[in-house]
A and B are shown apart, each in its own frame.
Chain A
């Protein structure tokens, strides 16, 4: 739409949360200014509150049955689909990562490439995890005894603060690949790629509620997620203060959450299996034979 002087009127994007497959504003009505690394204004982001986290957990619980009940093969297809759709938005992701992280456009492109490749890598694991982690167990009796991994439930993720897209991808994908659902709090300073990732997920056959993305302060929302009795695991990688991490770990103990402690991580390295196996429960079945 041209203005009087012929210049086109800017259409600026409203960055909102991603909860239950929809894009609501924060229940609290709060927003905060997001700047690039040089302090120049980029956009306003919604600042999620504890009640948004509460709603996100409800959405994640609702989605859990359907998502964990899908075949592993189907989950793999959907994760791959996320990579496909990200590929089509490559330029947008690159621009946002470059602006958020202060990278050159070529380095930002490399980070987006690595993020997309990571989705593909985890997509491949969906129907192979059971073979690696599961087992058939020799027992002294007429039983066929086997152990199979199952999803643990809702995983709360306090996403890395530095790596806005590759870091976020590297903590969400391993949680959902095995059938968990996720409530993630994005990087506070660099939230924009997270919401664009939410837009990708909304159009990738990923059922609403499987991934819920909150932009805001991990220190504010973290304690509510850590003490939430309906959350089954928590990844603390976005917390740098050791005292804060200890408090969150203590709060998580109330319902015996699986806790992943913060550690120095290089997101560009091959991730290994540890994040996937962290959020699994092994179910062992004794099946009578020879009767």
Chain B
């Protein structure tokens, strides 16, 4: 449907060449085929009309719960709130022990230690935002130190933001070097690179930023910080899923995708899962390769789950407020 990207399109033989100099990187990124905006939006709209019912729906709901990065990123976060969130991550529905655990809890770096302690022995990861989240406006030294602090406190995953100002003014080399530096600083932690698609303006930019992040060593590419509107949208996620699919075809590597912000209903989550399956493929229907950055989504998934299990509509009074 949309034009696929292969390395030979851009007159380069291997992706290693692409990153050998800023000039080549720029030529490669600007040479990526443009995204057909109308086509991408129409495709996303078509995929969101699929009807997922009964057993498929039950599977999708449980999978979506397992893909959640349960997130709290407020200035008002307290250790108490993080502990409550961790309790919810471990046992999302206290009334139903069959409800699966979420994938990770996502907090600010100073609360990583609290979350890590609460989640010890559960297999649930602790993700931390870093690099002057959400604006990404500080020096590289500070961003690196921010990342090191988070990892030292026990973060299993680091969510970094790219420097959108540098990206939009065409300084791709700077963005690349920053991601690579954070990649080193993060050590063994999984690196998620937040593109903040709401500020990138065009789908072409989203595709370029996706490739840039993957070339620089991202394990995951993530749509948004959740602080900017629009946050995650289905067409943007579609473009990013195509980028990881194309990257996989070129390199054999699996890169994950994480839409974050604005996904509040189970219905929306299922639309994303359909898009994942139809775009990147069933390999990506795995919490290792696809995540939802969300908080209120979990309650809606649990309510839908309860509806399927009990046969009557549940109410929000029976689920935790968070």
Question: Which residues of chain B (300-318) have a CB below 8 Å from chain A?
Answer: 311-318
> Which of B311, B313, B318 counts the most A-chain CB atoms under 10 A from its CB?
B313
Check if A230 sits within 8 Å of B312, measured CB to CB.
no
CA distance A224 to B98 in the complex (A): 25
**Shortest Cβ gap from A17 to chain B (Å):** 18
| From A61, A224, A229, A251, contact of B314 by CB (8 A) | A229
What bracket does the count of chain B residues touching chain A fall in? under 10
State whether B315 touches A54 (Cβ < 8 A): no
CB <8 Å contact, A227 and B317: no
Residues of B within 8 A of A230 (CB): 313-317
B313 and A224 contact, CB distance less than 8 A: yes
Q: How far is the CB of A55 from chain B (nearest CB, A)?
A: 11
Count, A-B residue pairs, CB within 8 A: 27
How distant is the Cα of A227 from the Cα of B312 in the complex, in angstroms?
6
Q: Is the CB of A227 within 8 A of B313?
A: yes
Task: Tell me, in angstroms, the Cα distance from A224 to B312 when the chains sit together.
Answer: 7
Give bound CA distance, A224 to B313, whole Å.
Answer: 7
Cα-based distance from A22 to B311 in the complex (angstroms): 28
A254 at the interface (CB under 8 A from B): yes
Least Cβ–Cβ distance between A213 and chain B, in angstroms: 19
Q: Contact check, A255 vs B315: say whether CB atoms are below 8 A apart.
A: yes
Shortest B45–chain A CB gap in Å is 19
Instruction: Return A185 CB to nearest CB of chain B, in Å.
Output: 15
Q: At the interface, yes or no: A194 with Cβ under 8 Å from chain B?
A: no
Within A14-28, which residues are at the interface with B (CB < 8 Å)?
none
**A261 close to chain B: CB less than 8 A:** no
B307 — nearest CB in chain A belongs to which residue? A54
Contacts of A228 in B (CB 8 A): 312-313, 315
A120 close to B (CB within 8 Å): no
The docked-state distance in angstroms from the alpha carbon of A240 to that of B38 is 55
Listed residue (B312, B314, B316, B317) with the most chain A CB atoms within 10 angstroms of its CB: B312
Asked whether A200 is an interface residue with its Cβ less than 8 Å from the other chain, the reply is no
Asked whether, in the complex, the Cβ of B312 is within 8 Å of the Cβ of A254, the reply is yes
Which residue of chain A has the shortest Cβ distance to B315 in the bound complex?
A230
A259 at interface, CB cutoff 8 A = no
- With a cutoff of 8 Å between Cβ atoms, the chain A residues found around residue B313 in the complex are 54, 57, 224, 227-230
C-beta contact mask, A240-277 vs B, less than 8 Å → 1, else 0?
00000000000100110000000000000000000000
Most central of A54, A57, A227, A254 by chain B CB within 10 Å: A227
Task: Please measure, in the bound complex, the distance between the C-alpha atom of A61 and the C-alpha atom of B314, giving whole angstroms.
Answer: 13
Give the docked Cα–Cα distance between A228 and B314 (Å).
6
Question: Residues of B contacting A227 with CB < 8 Å?
Answer: 311-313
The B265-322 residues at the A interface (CB cut-off 8 A) are 311-318
Report B-chain residues with C-beta under 8 Å of the C-beta of A254: 312
Which residues on the B side are within 8 Å of A229 (C-beta)?
A: 312-315, 317-318
Whole-angstrom CA separation of A61 from B317 in the bound complex: 11
Tell me, in angstroms, the Cα distance from A123 to B168 when the chains sit together: 60
Q: 19 new A-B pairs (CB below 8 Å) besides A61-B315, A224-B313, A231-B315? A: A57-B313, A61-B316, A227-B311, A227-B312, A227-B313, A228-B312, A228-B313, A228-B315, A229-B312, A229-B313, A229-B314, A229-B315, A229-B317, A230-B313, A230-B314, A230-B315, A230-B316, A251-B312, A255-B315
* A to B CB contacts below 8 Å, 21 in the list: A54-B313, A61-B315, A61-B316, A224-B313, A227-B311, A227-B313, A228-B313, A228-B315, A229-B312, A229-B313, A229-B315, A229-B317, A229-B318, A230-B313, A230-B314, A230-B315, A230-B316, A231-B315, A251-B312, A254-B312, A255-B315
The 8 closest A-B pairs by CB, nearest first: A230-B315, A227-B312, A229-B315, A228-B313, A229-B314, A54-B313, A229-B318, A229-B313
